[in-house]
Amino acid sequence: MKAREIRPEVYWVGAIDWDRRLFDALIPLPDGTSYNSYLIKGSEKTALIDTVDPTKENVLLNHLNQLGVENIDYVIANHAEPDHSGTIPRVLEQYPQAKVVATPKCKDMLIDLLMIPESRFMTVGDKETVSLGDRTLEFIHAPWVHWPETMLTYLREDKILFSCDFFGSHLATTDLYVTDEGQVYEAAKRYYGEIMMPFRTTIQNNLEKIKGYQIDIIAPSHGPMYDQPEFILKAYHSWAFDEPKNIVVVPYTSMHRSTLKMVEYLVGALVQRGVTVKQFDLTVTDIGKLAMALVDAATVVIGTPTVLAGPHPNAAYAAFLTNALRPNLRFVSIIGSYGWGGKTVEQLAGMIPNLKVELLEPVLSQGLPGEADFRALENLAETIAQKHKEQNLV
């Protein structure tokens, strides 16, 4: 594929990774991803905005060769994570006069991660600008989207916001811009849930910060660009600011079907009371789907048997992950079966210190659940439904 023109002398020069299926050895990529890099040829200077994952460095270098780029003055590093910075050393080799433009924090991280010599850097402050002649780049410090060093780059004359991971989606597509809003909404929400949700408060601040900018195009570093930015701005606003919804997420695992019976009973009792439920069998679920469900949920009920005196490791993983993702939850509970005892509740409850939640009375059944256990599950469903009503969650 060739470089693609966005505006006169502004090009997409990135790489599409159709076949990648895992990111950070953690995050499933059911639809692949892309590493977007952008070239701006000003009347006096040329800038490259972010690079690509080092596995795709030849794709980027070919794009630059095809465009006849003999000189790059600035390599803008919006973010130090190697899927965007990993090809900077190769670009610096090919363009020995190029300077890496970064926040002071990003400079330190790039020295640590890629051993780029300090002499190759030019650091920029918040709202500082660099002139390319007929075009101006403004750098907007936007920490914690999603590392501490991140910034956005705004091309003033063309009103393009190069937002790096902010507003991104892991989606391999030949569409330069969003064409299928439903598909991109899901991919962007998955991305938000997995990557951005732990930093919801700073996301709110950064959304406020860019309100003053006129933006015709948002050009993220993953997934298609937004030529109607309202679509993604509205979605992010809702994910970051809205109250949670009348939704219960039930991640569970079951060894001999006792916990499964309890999960099924609770789900039925919640649905009868008008609560939406999203149920995930942790042995098969895609954790991106779980992360997405957590964006809107008010309550999580973890279902687990007791194994070796504690929660099943799958349930411990779900609790650890939920704690790390810091969704905007209000309530948590635990249900499941045990054979002869253990500390399942104490151990799981101790794994979620980041969540500002009320722990609702757990329901544990010795062996197969019986009448009394089902009554307790009925009570738990009633409590959840009432709590959601009291908080006006819809």
Site string for ligand FEO, 284-323 (x = CB under 6 A): ----------------------------------------
H-run or E-run covering 375: helix 371-390
In Å, what is the CA distance from 8 to each residue of 11, 155, 213? 8, 13, 21
Q: Which is nearer to ligand FEO, 86 or 362 (CB)?
A: 86
- In whole angstroms, the minimum distance from the beta carbon of 386 to ligand FEO comes to 41
**Residues in contact with 97: Cβ distance below 8 Å, sequence separation at least 6, in sequence order:** 71, 72, 73
Q: Which is nearer to ligand FEO, 113 or 176 (CB)?
A: 113
- In whole angstroms, the minimum distance from the beta carbon of 233 to ligand FEO comes to 20
Q: What CA–CA distance (Å, rounded) separates 92 from 337?
A: 59
Q: Which is nearer to ligand FEO, 79 or 312 (CB)?
A: 79
Q: Which residue in 20, 56, 99, 222 binds ligand FEO (CB under 6 A)?
A: 222
Residue 20 near ligand FEO by CB under 6 A: no
Site string for ligand FEO, 81-120 (x = CB under 6 A): x-xx------------------------------------
Q: Which is nearer to ligand FEO, 116 or 247 (CB)?
A: 116
Site for ligand FEO in 48-87 (CB under 6 A): 79, 81, 83-84
With CA atoms as reference, report the closest residue to 229 among 279, 302, 154: 154
Q: Which is nearer to ligand FEO, 29 or 210 (CB)?
A: 29
3-state secondary structure of 353: coil
Q: What CA–CA distance (Å, rounded) separates 358 from 335?
A: 15
Q: Which is nearer to ligand FEO, 84 or 261 (CB)?
A: 84
- In whole angstroms, the minimum distance from the beta carbon of 220 to ligand FEO comes to 9
**Residues in contact with 199: Cβ distance below 8 Å, sequence separation at least 6, in sequence order:** 144, 145, 146
The overall longest dimension of the chain from CA atoms, in Å, is 79
Q: Which is nearer to ligand FEO, 41 or 222 (CB)?
A: 222
- In whole angstroms, the minimum distance from the beta carbon of 188 to ligand FEO comes to 13
Say if residue 300 is exposed, middle or buried (CB neighbours under 10 Å; 0-12, 13-18, 19+): buried
- In whole angstroms, the minimum distance from the beta carbon of 291 to ligand FEO comes to 15
**Residues in contact with 49: Cβ distance below 8 Å, sequence separation at least 6, in sequence order:** 37, 38, 39, 40, 76, 78, 153, 162
Q: What CA–CA distance (Å, rounded) separates 14 from 2?
A: 10
Q: Which residue in 221, 314, 344, 347 binds ligand FEO (CB under 6 A)?
A: 221
Q: Which residue in 57, 165, 194, 296 binds ligand FEO (CB under 6 A)?
A: 165
Q: What CA–CA distance (Å, rounded) separates 29 from 341?
A: 39
- Return left, alpha or beta for 166; rule: phi > 0 is left, psi -120 to 50 is alpha, else beta: beta
- In whole angstroms, the minimum distance from the beta carbon of 18 to ligand FEO comes to 17
Structure tokens of 268?
């039925």
Q: What CA–CA distance (Å, rounded) separates 197 from 327?
A: 6
Q: How many residues make contact with ligand FEO (CB under 6 A)?
A: 8
Site for ligand FEO in 229-288 (CB under 6 A): none
Task: By CB under 6 A, name the binding residues for ligand FEO.
Answer: 79, 81, 83-84, 146, 165, 221-222
